[in-house]
Every structure is written in structure tokens, then in C-alpha cells.
Structure 1
């Protein structure tokens, strides 16, 4: 059952971190708009994270939601930090579905802490997932987009990719780096008709944001820093995943055919303050 609009009808989309949260929202909405979908997730907990990662049951729920829309879906358990595993999973899925047109590099983790609490393991895991994982995703999908004659890559950024959000230095570093990767790849892949953009959400109502207790403690101890970093201009505390998906869909569709190398802020004015 397709949307009456079918804004990406006939296309195939890949979504990383698709088992729940923003990733599931993106996968289901893209299917609603006519795409077949490849969904991947690590399904593996990360040491140091104060919240559980998605499970096989979560990924299966995403699959069922896509199938209920009468769209084809291929699901794989793979960590974006694993370049060879990700390449194999993507190649197999694209071979099954026939092509690839849209890529949502969405997988990410967040482990907050004051600067003197951040361990080398937390630093490395965050950069490996949120930055190197995005690079891996682009690297293994770009050849398929080239063969398709073009496409769209949408990277999940953050307000932490725009400003120096306190108490999450590894996350800030990764999201700032992600912007640079996206802008450079927009230039390199542009001649192939491939667009690369970043969506910057402010806080979104997901399991990840439910696991930020340590950050809340630090904010309470440093209220001025907290107010500067986490206040939205609009009267909303957290956004819903579907509200970020609206922006992703725009960037995935031909409506944004001439949009590349941009940072689209869906942040309730957070970075405008």
C-alpha cells in the first residue's frame, strides 16, 4: 500500500540503525512513499552506554512494518564499524533488490560525560560508530549509486555537529567530522549525480535520549551551560522521530534534486540561540 504521493516510488533505500527510533521511522516512511528498503543494525550493546542497543526483536518489528506496506525489505545484522561485513551485507541486499538509490547513514551512539570522565574506550567507540561508520556506509554504497546513475545520501547529524555542546565531547567531535565528510563527498560524488546532505536534529524522543541521565546530572550542576546548549527557540523540548523523517524524505526525493552539500537543521531553533 503506497502513499498517494509515492514520492520515491520504484527506488531502493538503505537505512542504518534501522531497528528502532529515527532509523525505523525513516525506513517505514520511505516504504510508505514507494521504496523497497534495506535495513541494518548492529543489535549489539556498547560498553559504557547507559541504554541498551536495539535487539533482533526490534529489527523484526521494523521489517514487519515495512512488509505491512507491501514493500520488499532485506534485513541484516551488521555493525557499521565493520567495513567488510557492511560491504558484504549491502552487496547481497542490493543484488536481491536490484539497485540502490537512497542511503540514510543514521546509525549512532551517545555516551555523555564530563571531559575528565571520558575514557579512551568511549572516545573510540563513539568516533568509530558515528564518524567512521558513516564513512564506511558511504564508501560501500557509493558504487551502487554510481551504477544507478545517481542518488541521495542523507547523514544524521546533530546540533552537536553545529555547536560545542558540553558534556559529550566524543559525540561533538564525531558529528562535526561527519559534516566535513558529507561536504567533501558531495563534491566528489556530484559528477555522478549523487547528492550528499546532513540533517541536524535537536533532541529527539528515542531510547538514546532516554539514556542520558549523566548529562542531566551535569546540566543540573552547570545550569548556565545547560541552558545555552539545550534550549530550543520554539516551545518544544524534544522532537519526534517522524519530524526528522520529514526532512530525510525531502532530501531522498527528487524534490531536492539540486540540493547537495547542505546542512538542514530540524532543531526547533536550538542552534539559532
Structure 2
């Protein structure tokens, strides 16, 4: 059975679905026949993505707010049935030397990237365990597999996401639920453009030079495309990956192993 056949008719929930990797994942799942609930803080952005496929539905929710995420699940399941697939994709990043990182910035980065990931998947677990079926995919980062300078909170958070994934995979291994993470390198999205601008602002380097320095971290010498991450997620959600759980899959052109 192909991934598309296994996914058709399922209900997927994707956070951070209003742009970038989240948008690409939502579109890939919808094109495979899933009904997709996308969540994020920007209602207008969610609405624009929903216009691209009539299987996509937007719901405003902040992943750091447990009440909002719980409410989003209740509304989504009332409209489209139990959530079969969860993709915890919402994230953010800043940049500063560790000794200049404020506690506020540290906490906000962990709240969005790590606590937000936990709050995203927690409501889905009881139903998945009861049905003995489900797919959970965290969008982590190569920053969850190695260290990068000047992004200590982000690296710590993404390492935490990989650890959370492994813990949940161990808990659910006998249940029919799989839990995995995809760990992209630098992806050609709006977040990447923000990173490039921060380099320009803080170092005075030209944008092209900053862009080239980031692309060079990938041995293939390029940025990952959002659709490549989406294809990895799609495969993990299909029946062909039913024995794959507890894995952090690097999508990085060989940057990490």
C-alpha cells in the first residue's frame, strides 16, 4: 500500500501550518487524501493555505497555551473525526551569544519549540492508544542532533524534542502508534530569511555572503526545500513506515548522520 493510500481519509493536525515547512506538509497530506487541520497564531495565513486545498481547515491556536490547543482539538475532532496523524511543526528561533541571551528569550524559545511540541501531541495520545493506531511526527532540526553557535536555546529545545520523541516512542511501541522526528538542516523558508537578515544586521556581511555561509553547512551545498521535509513526513505517516518508530531522520544532505 502506498503512503497516499494509507493516508487517504485520515485526519491530520499540523501546527505552524500557515507558512514554510508546515504549509508544505499540510498540502502534501491533503493531496494524499487526508483531511488536514492546520493550527497557528496567524488566522490570515492559515486561511490563505486553506484556500490552496479544500481538505485543509485552519484553526487559530497558540501551541504554548494548553487551553487553546485543547480547544482546537475539540473543534477539529467534532468537525472531522479523531485525529490520526499529528505533526508538531511550530517553531521559532533567535540568535545571540549564550552569555547575552536573556532568560526571557531562553524561556520563550523553549516554550514554543519544546513545551509547544509536548502540548501539541498530548491531546492525541489517549485516542491513539485506545484505537491502537496513530502517527506522530515532530519537526525537529539538525540542531537536535548537533550543536550550533549563537543559538543555544534553540539547540537545547530541539535536543529536547528529539528526547521527547524517543520517550514517547518507548511508551507507545506496543500500541500501533509510531513516533518519529524529521531533522532538517537549513530549509529555504521565511525563517531562513530571518536568520540571514540577523547575520547581516549583526555582522555587516552582505546577504549573499550570509546565505552562502549557511548553505555551505550542507555537504550538497544547497538549502533543503520544504517539500523534501514534507515527503519525509508523508512516508513516516504511511503503512510502509509502520516499523519505524523512535527515529530522528536527518534531512540535511549529509550534514549529520
**TM-score, structure 1 as length reference:** 0.85
Kindly state the Cα deviation for residue 190 of structure 1 after the two structures are TM-superposed.
2.0
**TM-score, structure 2 as length reference:** 0.90
Q: Is the 8 A contact 1:83 1:136 kept in 2?
A: yes
Kindly state the Cα deviation for residue 215 of structure 1 after the two structures are TM-superposed.
3.9
Q: Is the 8 A contact 1:150 1:194 kept in 2?
A: yes
Match of 1:231 in 2: 217
d(CA) in 1 for partners of 2:117 and 2:17? 14
Question: Secondary structure, in 3 states, of the residue corresponding to 2:37?
Answer: strand
d(CA) in 2 for partners of 1:117 and 1:174? 18
Match of 2:186 in 1: 203
Deviates more, 1:173-182 or 1:227-236: 227-236
Alignment partner for residue 107 of structure 2, among 124, 131, 134?
A: 124
Alignment partner for residue 58 of structure 1, among 26, 45, 56?
A: 45
Kindly state the Cα deviation for residue 110 of structure 1 after the two structures are TM-superposed.
0.6
Question: Secondary structure, in 3 states, of the residue corresponding to 2:174?
Answer: helix
1:251 aligns with 2:236: yes
d(CA) in 1 for partners of 2:230 and 2:219? 21
Structure 1 residues 198 and 4: CA distance shift in structure 2, 3 A: closer
Structure 2 gap segments, 5+ residues each: none
Q: Is the 8 A contact 1:80 1:137 kept in 2?
A: yes
Q: How many residues align?
A: 249
d(CA) in 2 for partners of 1:80 and 1:4? 28
Q: Is the 8 A contact 1:230 1:270 kept in 2?
A: no
Match of 2:19 in 1: 20
d(CA) in 2 for partners of 1:148 and 1:89? 20
d(CA) in 1 for partners of 2:39 and 2:28? 16
Alignment partner for residue 97 of structure 1, among 73, 80, 92?
A: 80
Runs of 4+ that moved beyond 3 A: 3-7, 215-220, 226-230
Structure 1 gap segments, 5+ residues each: 44-55
d(CA) in 1 for partners of 2:89 and 2:232? 13
d(CA) in 2 for partners of 1:4 and 1:41? 26
Q: Is the 8 A contact 1:13 1:100 kept in 2?
A: yes
Kindly state the Cα deviation for residue 233 of structure 1 after the two structures are TM-superposed.
1.2
Q: Is the 8 A contact 2:88 2:120 kept in 1?
A: yes
**Two-structure CA RMSD over aligned residues (Å):** 2.3
Kindly state the Cα deviation for residue 100 of structure 1 after the two structures are TM-superposed.
1.4
Match of 1:37 in 2: 36
